[in-house]
Structures are given as structure tokens and as C-alpha cells.
Structure 1
């Protein structure tokens, strides 16, 4: 009897121990009691009532990634291609996920395939290849709206690969090759044109610079010649001024010397003979070899050497001497007259 009780106690303890459940982080356990939904357990330790409660579904609430196999789709211009997609989703309501749809991953896959076919059927081949972002956005919106009642949040959908038929790929490669060759020729032509333009511009600039240099040289040469002429004129002017000043000073000195000699002569109270001698000297200077006619005063007619002295002075030009008539008593003879041009 005691052994049976002991075994019964051990059996009860084992049952209770085995009914303890620990829910890990980022997981939710959906629990049913007597076949009906009872509770959704979060992270922590829980206890199942033996023979009454059971864990109906273990749900991960982490973001999940599902890579679906390629789907055959037809574009608007009747080109068949293979497209595989990657769906990023997260379970936001574990109860709806457990009871909303049978096989939810398969449901998402089929919904993705049908939505993709609808979107691609509205696009041509070129638009399909260049509109990945548009296709991703439209699929994401459609799937998120459809899976909301399943407790699933579709975060984003990406087109992993787009595989056109082999002949289409060959044609596209040839087209791209032709396009690249076209761009290469265009770039080469543009480079050659820019090179020619640059060379022509350089030659133009060089000619302009040479013309400017020649112009500046001519201007500078003209200015230098002008300055030289001005300086030569200034020098000649200065020279003439200096000569004129020298001649004026010489004349002034001569006149001053003559005036001083007259002053000294007058102060010396000269005799009649000295005055007559000075008169002869004056007539000698007056004749100067240029006069053609000289009138001699009567006071100096009696000098014996007058004719000989004047003859020696006037050797180059003949001079005619005319003696005036004796002056009446009490009157002096008139002064000597010379031609107007030699006075």
C-alpha cells in the first residue's frame, strides 16, 4: 500500500514538472483550454493544467525573411520572364496568425505571385527592368493590406532577380553594346571637336597677343621718338638761349667797357689831339671794310696819315672820301654821314 502511494506521488510530481512551460524572449505561446483559445503567453514561466490546457502554437514575433522561388510572369509586350522575390514580414498578432489562415507562409507566397503578375502585366519589358522601386512599393502595399487580418505586417518586398529569356538577353546585350559604341563615338567626336576648338582659340589668342605686343612696341617707339625730339628741341633751345645770353652779356660787357673808357677819357680831360685820334679810331671801326662812302669832318682833314690808314682798312672795298667845304667862321662842320644800311 505504501509503495503504491509513493509511486502515485512521484507520478503526480512528474506530471506537474512536465507541465511547466518557459516562454523565451521574442516568442508568444497560444494556449488552448479544452480545445478553445484560452490565452497568449508572453516571455516568462507558465503552467499548463494537466489534461486541460495545451500549447496550440508557438509564434516568433521577430522580423522574418522568406525567399520565394522564381515566378513566371508576362509583361505587357508579351515577354515571359522569371522573377523571384524576397518578403520581409513580422507577426504582430499571434492569435490572428494562429487562427486567421491555414499555412500563412504559403498564403503569402501565393499572394505575392498573383500580385506580381498583375503589376508586371501592366508594364513593358524596359519599364519592368527599370522600375524595381515602383514594383516593390506596390507589392508591399498590396500584401500589407491583405495580410493585416492574419496578424502579419509586411515590411517590404524586394525583387531579387529578373530573368528575361535568353534571346531577349542576347538582344539586350547587343543593344547595350551598340549603345556603348555610339557613346564612345560621340565622346570621341566631342573630344576631337573640343581639341580643334581649343587649338583654334589658342592660335587666336596668340595672334591677339602678338598684335597687342606689336601695338605696344609701336606706341612705345613713337613715344620714345617723341621724347627724343622734345629733348633735342629742348637742348637746341637751351643751347640758343645760352648763346643769346652769352652774346647779350658780351655786348653788355663791351658797352660797359666803352662807357667806362669814355668816363675815364672824360675824367682825364684829353687834349684836342687825343680827341682827333679817337675820332680816327671811330672812323676806322665805322668803315669796317663794308662802307662805300665816308664823309670826314673838317676838324680831322689836316691829318697826314688819314688816307693811308683808311686805305689799308678798306683794302677789300673801295671807299670814296669827300672833303666838305670849309665851314664859315663861327660854325662847325657837319658830322660824317654813312649810308642808311651801314649806320
Structure 2
């Protein structure tokens, strides 16, 4: 009789130990360690709760969730060539490289739906506006001026999204084939003189 009572006591104690172990494992699984150069955006019951920086943090079970993990390193995006028209009606292809950094993870998460698409479209329209004010020769010789103008305009436009545009570079400027041929013939003629 004593043995059956002892076995029943160990059974209850065993179940209690298993329950405690499950709870401990569950709580440990809610610990998040945020790595360097990352920011976690945490929502509590679907609303913004906070930004977590580098180090260990605890998600409250059933209430908190990591909504987004944001890298705060400088990033580089190479956009495909865009057709642009100069002031003297020459259509050329220009591709750009944008260097940017996220400065406000909350604004980046909640400020705009698709930030990369927004930066690409904003770069294309800004490039078209700037090149549309220049003639072909000025476009080919003033990359630095164009880069500076685009960088300033993009940085101002992306500021409400928590994005800092550090630099924009024109990677390639490709005029139409016939204009490239004419330029090459002109250079040859000047060299032969």
C-alpha cells in the first residue's frame, strides 16, 4: 500500500517537473539576442511597442512579436538603366547606384510600404528631371553636378521614411548608337589634324 502511494506521489511530482521544464523551455525560447548593426521592431498586440538595439531582450508571450528586423548598415542598390531625354531631345540610358543607410527603424517600417521600390522610382524621376534641364554635352561632362543634385533631392525626400541617402553615382551614361558613332568619328578627325 505504501509503495502504491509512493509511486502515485512520484507520478504527480514527475508531471509537475515536466510541466516546469516545458514552461522554462517556452520562456527561454522567447529570449531574443539582437546582433550588432540590427534593430528589431517589436509590436505588442499589433501596435508599435519599441525598437530593440544590440543585446538580449525578452518577448512577452502571446503579446509581443518581432514585426521587422532592420539592418542599419550602409546599403548599396544598383538600379537598372533608365531612359532619359535631354533638353536637346536625345534619349539615352543612364543607370545609377544609390548608397543609403536606415537612420530611423520605426519610420522605415511604418513610413512607407515598399521602400526599395520607392527609392528606385524616386531616383528615376529625379534623374529625368535633372537630365531634362541639361543638353547632351553637359550631361556627359557634369556627372559630379548631377550626382550632387540627385543625392540632395533624394536625401530630402527619403528623410520622412527614416532613410539617409549618402551618395548617388551615375554608373553608365549611354547615348544612342548613332551619337556614339558620330562622337567617335569627331574624335578621330581631331586626332588626325
Report the TM-score when normalising by structure 1. 0.52
Q: Residue 26 of structure 1: CA displacement?
A: 1.3
Q: CA RMSD, aligned part only? A: 1.2
Aligned residues: 182
Report the TM-score when normalising by structure 2. 0.91
Counterpart secondary structure, 1:51: coil
1:68 aligns with 2:79: yes
**Among 93, 96, 100, which residue is 2:107 paired with?**
96
Equivalent residue, structure 1, for 2:150: 139
Equivalent residue, structure 1, for 2:174: 163
The answer to which structure has the higher helix fraction is: 1
Q: 1:288-332 CA distances to partner (integer Å, 9 max, x unpaired)?
A: xxxxxxxxxxxxxxxxxxxxxxxxxxxxxxxxxxxxxxxxxxxxx
Highest RCO, 1 vs 2 (Cα 8 Å, sep ≥ 6): 2
**Among 133, 152, 161, which residue is 1:122 paired with?**
133
Counterpart secondary structure, 2:89: coil
Equivalent residue, structure 2, for 1:38: 49
1:177 aligns with 2:174: no
Equivalent residue, structure 1, for 2:4: none
The separation in 1 between residues aligned to 2:20 and 2:92, in whole angstroms, is 67
Q: Residue 11 of structure 1: CA displacement?
A: 2.2
The separation in 1 between residues aligned to 2:73 and 2:133, in whole angstroms, is 35
Q: 1:170-227 CA distances to partner (integer Å, 9 max, x unpaired)?
A: 1111111112223xxxxxxxxxxxxxxxxxxxxxxxxxxxxxxxxxxxxxxxxxxxxx
Equivalent residue, structure 2, for 1:202: none
Q: Residue 62 of structure 1: CA displacement?
A: 1.1
1:22 aligns with 2:22: no
Q: Which structure would you say has the larger Rg?
A: 1
* Divergent runs of 4+, >6 A: none
The separation in 2 between residues aligned to 1:155 and 1:69, in whole angstroms, is 19
Equivalent residue, structure 1, for 2:6: none
Q: 1:264-297 CA distances to partner (integer Å, 9 max, x unpaired)?
A: xxxxxxxxxxxxxxxxxxxxxxxxxxxxxxxxxx
| Equivalence map 1:166-205=2 (5 Å) | 166-182=177-193
Structure 1: any 5+ residue segments left out of the alignment?
183-343
Structure 2: any 5+ residue segments left out of the alignment?
1-10
Q: Residue 7 of structure 1: CA displacement?
A: 3.5
